[in-house]
Copies of this chain bind each other. A is one copy, B any other.
Amino acid sequence: MTAPFPPSDRTRVRRAAHYAHYERATLHAIIDDAYVCHVAFADASGTHNIPTACWREGEYLYIHGSNGGRMMKVMGQGTQVCVAITHLDGLVLARTAFNHSMNYRSAMIYGAFEAVDGAAEKRHAMEVFMNRIAPGRHADVGPGSDKEFDATTIMRIGLGEAACKVREGGPRDDEEDLALPSWAGVLPFARQRLAPVRDAQCTSPEPEYLAGWARR
């Protein structure tokens, strides 16, 4: 499951190539830590870059939307896309301005989306998506109606042509700069889960599957 992808001409990382990763496990982890991706594509009016919810199952990244949405229509034509996900983990302060950097985990997926067809396949995909919020959420809220499914397009893109870049750790100053007096280190970020905010009209007890939300 963690065999490396062979990089394509598009996914071979050239800048800061020592940060490149082509292992599936790295790609999976970056996608699985994301709720949103950016989908870049071109149509007659130019190049666009649309944020949309995403999730993964196996070797596919999934998105969904209303049948009538522009992106779903363009994706339905097999348009080539580049899907990007970036997690910013910290600002890296070096002893010189030009050695400053950032710690991040980013993934880039090239290819084209294909529609997930079939009632069972669509229902399964949305179940995976709902349980991505928290395992057990799907069972609590139940599936959509046939009408809702009919109005929704679910699409997926294979992870075959993908690359990741990961930078971690402290500044990498040049040897001759180590004695410079400016502070050097990392200013880290984390994604914090705050306590669930119950809807004013909700009287249901907080479900088991949310108990750990703010601690995760």
* A3 adjacent to chain B (CB < 8 Å): no
Taking a contact as CB atoms under 8 Å apart, the answer to whether A49 and B40 are in contact is yes
Q: Within the complex, which residue of B14, B82, B145 is in contact with A70, where a contact is CB–CB below 8 Å?
A: B14
Taking a contact as CB atoms under 8 Å apart, the answer to whether B210 and A198 are in contact is no
A contact residues, total (Cβ < 8 Å): 89
* A83 adjacent to chain B (CB < 8 Å): yes
* A170 adjacent to chain B (CB < 8 Å): yes
Taking a contact as CB atoms under 8 Å apart, the answer to whether A141 and B97 are in contact is yes
Taking a contact as CB atoms under 8 Å apart, the answer to whether A36 and B97 are in contact is no
What residues of chain B lie closer than 8 Å to A183, measured between beta carbons? 140, 198, 202, 204-207, 210
CB distance from A206 to the nearest CB of B (A): 6
* A31 adjacent to chain B (CB < 8 Å): no
* With contact pairs A40-B82, A183-B202, A191-B191 given, residues A35 and B102 touching in the complex (Cβ less than 8 Å): yes
Taking a contact as CB atoms under 8 Å apart, the answer to whether B189 and A142 are in contact is no
A67, B178: Cα distance in complex, Å: 26
Q: Within the complex, which residue of B80, B143, B171, B197 is in contact with A47, where a contact is CB–CB below 8 Å?
A: B80
Taking a contact as CB atoms under 8 Å apart, the answer to whether A80 and B193 are in contact is no
What residues of chain B lie closer than 8 Å to A48, measured between beta carbons? 10, 40, 82, 108
- Looking at the complex, which of A21-29, A113-121, A130-138 is the stretch in contact with chain B? A130-138
A202, B180: Cα distance in complex, Å: 9
| Residue ranges of A at the interface with B (Cβ–Cβ < 8 Å) | 9-10, 14-15, 35-36, 38-42, 45-51, 53, 65-66, 69-70, 80-84, 86, 88, 90-91, 93-98, 100, 102, 104, 106, 108, 110, 126, 130, 133-134, 137-138, 140-145, 148, 152, 170-171, 178, 181-202, 204-207, 210, 213
20 contacts between A and B (CB under 8 A): A10-B45, A35-B88, A36-B102, A39-B49, A46-B110, A47-B47, A49-B108, A93-B137, A95-B202, A96-B142, A97-B143, A100-B130, A183-B204, A183-B205, A184-B198, A185-B197, A185-B199, A188-B197, A189-B191, A189-B193
